[in-house]
Amino acid sequence: MKIFCVAVLLLFCGQTVARSLEDIVDSGRIVVAVYDDYYPFSIRHKSNDRVDTYGSDAVGSSGAEAETDEDENALGDLSTDPYRGVPASSGTGIDIDLAAAIAESLDVELELIWMTAGETTEDDLRNYLWKGHIIHGVKADLMMRVPYDRDYTLKRDDIGLLVHELVHMFGPYHVEAWQVAHDTKNLPELPTVSLFSYHPVGVEVDSIPQLYLTSAFNGRFREQARQFNSLQAAFVGMVDEKVHAVMGIRSQVTALHSQLDNARFELAENAFPLIGRQQWDIGVAVHNDYRALGYAVGDVITEKTLNGELQEIFTKYGAEYQMPDYYNY
Amino acid sequence: MQNNRFMKAAALSVMFALGGAGTAVAGVTDKDILADQMTTDDVVSNGMGLRGQRFSTLDKINRDTIQDMRPVWAFSMGGEKQRGQETQPMIKDGVMYITGSYSRVWAVDARSGEELWQYEARLPDGIMPCCDVINRGVALYGDLVIFGTLDAKLVALNKDTGKTVWKKKVEDYKAGYSISAAPIVVDGKVITGVAGGEFGIVGKVRAYDAQNGDLVWERPTVEGHMGYVYEDGKKIEAGISGGAPGKTWPADLWKSGGAAPWLGGTYDPDVDLLFFGTGNPAPWNSHQRPGDNYFSSSRLAIDPDNGEIVWHFQTTPNDGWDYDGVNELISFDYEHQGKTIKAAATADRNGFFYVLNRENGEFIRGFPFVDKINWAKGLDENGRPIFNDANRPGNPANSEDGKKGETVVAAPSFLGGKNWQPMAYSKDTGLFYVPSNEWEMDIWNEPTAYKKGAAYLGAGFTISSIEEDYIGVLRAIDPKTGETVWRHNNYAPLWGGALATSGGLVFTGNPEGYLMAFDDRTGEVVYKFNTGSGIVGSPVTWEMDGEQYVSVASGWGGAVPLWGGEVAQRVKDLNQGGTIWTFKLPKRYENTNLAAK
Q: Are B284 and B202 in contact (CB under 8 A)?
A: no
pLDDT, residue A49, reads 44
List the 379-418 stretch of B: residues with Cβ below 8 A of A: 395-397, 399-402
Are the Cβ atoms of A135 and B569 closer than 8 angstroms? Answer: no
Residues of A in contact with B255 (CB under 8 A): 205, 227
pLDDT, residue B264, reads 97
Q: How confident is the model at residue B90 (pLDDT cuts 50, 70, 90)?
A: very high
The CA distance from B282 to B256, in Å, is 7
Q: What is the pLDDT of residues B160-187, one digit of tens each?
A: 999 999 999 999 998 889 999 999 999 9
Q: What is the pLDDT of residues B273-284, one digit of tens each?
A: 999 999 999 998
pLDDT, residue A190, reads 95
SS3 B110: coil
| A78-82, B4-8, B153-157, B194-198: least confidently modelled range | B4-8
Quick check: A14 pLDDT over 70?
no
Residues of B in contact with A157 (CB under 8 A): 564-565
List the 545-574 stretch of B: residues with Cβ below 8 A of A: 564-566, 568-569
Candidate list B292, B322, B348, B519, residue with the active-site label: B322
* DSSP result, A130-151: IS--TTT----SEEEEEEE-HH
Residues of B in contact with A118 (CB under 8 A): 128
Average pLDDT score over residue span B221-235: 96
Positive/negative CA dihedral, B188, B193, B194, B199: positive
The CA distance from B326 to B131, in Å, is 14
Long-range contacts of B25-32 (CB under 8 A, 24+ apart): B25/B141, B25/B142, B25/B143, B25/B211, B26/B142, B26/B143, B27/B92, B27/B140, B27/B141, B27/B142, B27/B143, B27/B144, B27/B159, B28/B92, B28/B140, B28/B141, B28/B142, B29/B142, B30/B185, B30/B186, B30/B187, B30/B188
Dihedral angle, C-alpha B124, B129, B133, B138, nearest 10 °: -70
Q: How confident is the model at residue A12 (pLDDT cuts 50, 70, 90)?
A: very low
Are the Cβ atoms of B564 and A121 closer than 8 angstroms? Answer: no
Quick check: B96 pLDDT over 50?
yes
Are the Cβ atoms of A176 and B453 closer than 8 angstroms? Answer: yes
The CA distance from A4 to the nearest CA of chain B, in Å, is 21
**All residues at 6 or more sequence positions from A109 whose CB lies less than 8 Å from its CB, including other chains:** A28, A29, A30, A88, A103
Residues of B in contact with A74 (CB under 8 A): 102-103, 120-123
Average pLDDT score over residue span B28-47: 97
* Residue B326 touches partner A, C-beta closer than 8 Å: no
Average pLDDT, chain B: 93
Q: What is the pLDDT of residues A193-221, one digit of tens each?
A: 999 999 999 999 999 999 999 999 989 99
Q: What is the pLDDT of residues B434-487, one digit of tens each?
A: 999 999 999 998 989 999 999 999 888 899 999 999 999 999 999 999 999 999
List the 172-201 stretch of B: residues with Cβ below 8 A of A: 174, 176, 197-200
The CA distance from B44 to the nearest CA of chain A, in Å, is 25
Residues of B in contact with A151 (CB under 8 A): 448
The CA distance from B281 to the nearest CA of chain A, in Å, is 12
pLDDT, residue A4, reads 41
Q: How confident is the model at residue B18 (pLDDT cuts 50, 70, 90)?
A: very low
Q: How confident is the model at residue A290 (pLDDT cuts 50, 70, 90)?
A: confident
Nearest CB among A135, A152, A218 relative to B127 is that of A135
Are the Cβ atoms of B125 and A52 closer than 8 angstroms? Answer: yes
Q: How confident is the model at residue B198 (pLDDT cuts 50, 70, 90)?
A: low
Type of residue found at A60: G
Q: How confident is the model at residue B401 (pLDDT cuts 50, 70, 90)?
A: low
| A178-182, B162-166, B400-404: least confidently modelled range | B400-404
Q: What is the pLDDT of residues A56-109, one digit of tens each?
A: 332 222 223 334 433 333 334 445 788 989 999 999 999 999 999 999 999 999
Residues of A in contact with B122 (CB under 8 A): 55-56, 66, 69, 72, 74
Q: What is the pLDDT of residues B107-141, one digit of tens each?
A: 999 999 999 999 999 999 889 887 789 999 999 99
B478: annotated active-site residue: no
The CA distance from B73 to B509, in Å, is 18
Instruction: Look at phi and psi of residue A197 and say left if phi exceeds 0, alpha if psi is from -120 to 50, else beta.
Output: alpha
Quick check: A50 pLDDT over 50?
no
SS3 A302: helix
The residue of A215, A253, A274 whose CB has the most chain B CBs within 10 angstroms, and thus the best one to mutate to test that interface, is A215
**All residues at 6 or more sequence positions from A240 whose CB lies less than 8 Å from its CB, including other chains:** none
Quick check: A3 pLDDT over 60?
no
| A63-67, A267-271, A307-311, B581-585: least confidently modelled range | A63-67
